[in-house]
Structures are given as C-alpha cells and as structure tokens.
Structure 1
C-alpha cells in the first residue's frame, strides 16, 4: 500500500488552472497595452493635422473674399463700377410702386450736389426751425445773407435721410466769412439762428441727432475723391 501511494500524482486544482491561464494571457495583454499606447500617440497627430488643413482652407477662403472686396472698392473709387447692391449711377425714374410691391425711395442727405462743398470753408447756421422745408430754408438763407452784403455760392441743408426732415443746421459758402458772421440773430421760422465758423465745430453740432443711411459713407467718399481730383 505504501508503494502504491507514492506512485500517484496530485490532481490539478482550479487554482492551478487559473494561474496557468493568467500566465498565458500576459503576453496578449502586454501587446494590447502597447497597441493602445501607440494609437494614443498617433491619433492626436492625425487630429492636429486635420485641424490645420481645415484652418488653412478657412484662411484661403477669407483671403479670396478680401481680395474680391478690395477689387470692387478700387473699381468703385475709379468710377468704373458700383458696389454690390448700391448704384451711384443716374437711372431713369421708375413708376411708383404700390405699398405691397416695395417701400418708398428716400433721398440721402449727401446725395445733392450742394453736399459736395468743402464745409471747412463755409459758415455754419444753427438753430433753424426744422418744420420748414429744405428748399424754403435754402431760399430764405440766400436772401438773408445776400441782403447782408455776402455773395453766396452754395447752401447745403442737412436732412435726415429716412424722413427728409431738416436737422436745423446749414452750411453756406460765402465770399467773406467775417461779413457773414455779422448776419446772425435773425428768425428762421419760429427760431432765431446763429452763424458760426464751420471749421471750429464738432460733428454733433453740425449734424445734430443725425442717424444717416447706408448710402451716406459712399456719397461722402465720392465727394472727397472728386474734391481731391479737382485740387490736382
């Protein structure tokens, strides 16, 4: 019995099987870990490269749009073209449209030839009754200053573009500004107006409560260009 007992081998237990299984899985787990680490290093580089390509496309598109805008502005200033959506050319008057077909057209404050004057060489009249019509104000001012011995070459009465209501001020080009300054203190409608040197005043005084319209900067730039070309 003793010899037979020595010849028997111990049976493998579940603990031994699990230990052997863990030992066999270690190389596989190590390989998976190395693969994950490699993907972690590569993926950010791929994402960064895609992001850089996307940003370059955006910059290229913005540059093309800017180039096209500069080209349109250059042609506009040279008088060869109009800006998109806005035309400075004189067109034949159209028939009035009904209320359902479109909104009424309005006159920009700087659309008249009188606004082309160099206001730095003019006198400024403030305190004009805004209930008066634009043409009535111009006629009354011309009569008043000419009666005071001034030669009036141009009168510009600013208005609010959307409504056409005068702002209560006016620029007058005269031959003698000192003589024009002595013409103050007269009535214009129900108000007494003052005469000042336009070059000494701020925009808030010359154009009080002025809101303007999208056409204003375009007309003013065109006036400056015309005056600059005239001085050359």
Structure 2
C-alpha cells in the first residue's frame, strides 16, 4: 500500500510539473505583451512631450519689436526670394532700400509653424522723401527677382493677414487688423478723405495704376509664352 501511494504521489507531481512547464510559455508571452504595451505607451508619452516642447519653441510671427508699426506711410514689398531665413530676408531688404534714407522698421511676415516667409514685408522710412524714393524702386532687381513696391494701405495684407495659419497670437492680430480696417473706413469714409497732400496722393494713385498695368502685362506674356 505504501509503495502504491508513493507511486501515485510521484506520478501526480510529475504531471503537475508538466502542466507548469506547459503554462510557463503562455505566461511568458503574456508578460512580453504587457511589456511591449508599456513601452508603446511610454514612447507615445515621450513623443507628445517632444511635440509640446517644439510647439513652445516655435517663433511667433508677431513676437518681435518690428511686428507693430504699420501706418499710412508704410511701404509694402513683395516679389523677393522667400527661401531664406527671416533675418536674411530682412537684411537683404534693408540693404536694398538703404539708398532711400533711414529705415525705421523692416517687418518680414512668416508662418509660425514652418518659419518660412509668406513672400511680403512692410518697411517704414523716416521721412516722406524716403517714401517717394522707395516707390521708385518698384520693378528693381533683388537676387534675380523683380520687386513690387507700393503703399501698404493699398494692399489687403495691411489690414489683415488673409489665408494665414498661425498661432493664437496671429489669429488675434488678424482680428485686430479687421477691426482696424473697420475703424479706418468709418474715419475716412472708405479712403475718400485725403490724408496726404494732393500731389502725393496723385503720385500714389498713378504709381498704383502703373503697377497694376505692369502686372497685367506680365501675366499676359506668361500666358502667351
């Protein structure tokens, strides 16, 4: 009887060991899956943290001292090469318009998400003689490209930055620009009242007409070509 009991105990123990050996791979697989899921969660958290830090480091378009300062004597410039950085474009424009007199402001508009220039800039000069000299640089060459130079108040970009995808500060500035346009229309009757001398207003009007005519000619030439 004792020997039979011992045999039964030994067989049961060997059976239990075999069952444990069979279940161990399943448990190991479950542990591996849990470890993999934990690593994925940790990697996602790190990725989110990195994205948040990069968003904080992005430069806002209006987070500079030159962002504010548009007025009715501001010059609008476009047509330059916008592949360079903001500082490179600013220095190139400042050098190009340095012959017109003292520059008080050169503001290059960029996209906050990419840092790429939107292709236009605002320039302020110290006196009216410099403004007239800057307008004569319309069609001048800068880096192999022809510039379009006109009064900023004749452009929509002066009142608001249209089709712009920026940060919350940029959107707030856009809303402020639209409000500024509304107030300007109320104060001046939609630009009917003269804010400069008649000679200067007439010169600006002719300059705008010549600019639009040259743009139409260039478009027609490109279509024919």
The structure in which a higher percent of residues are helix is 2
Superposition TM-score, scaled by structure 1 size: 0.47
The normalised TM-score by structure 2 is 0.49
Larger radius of gyration: 1
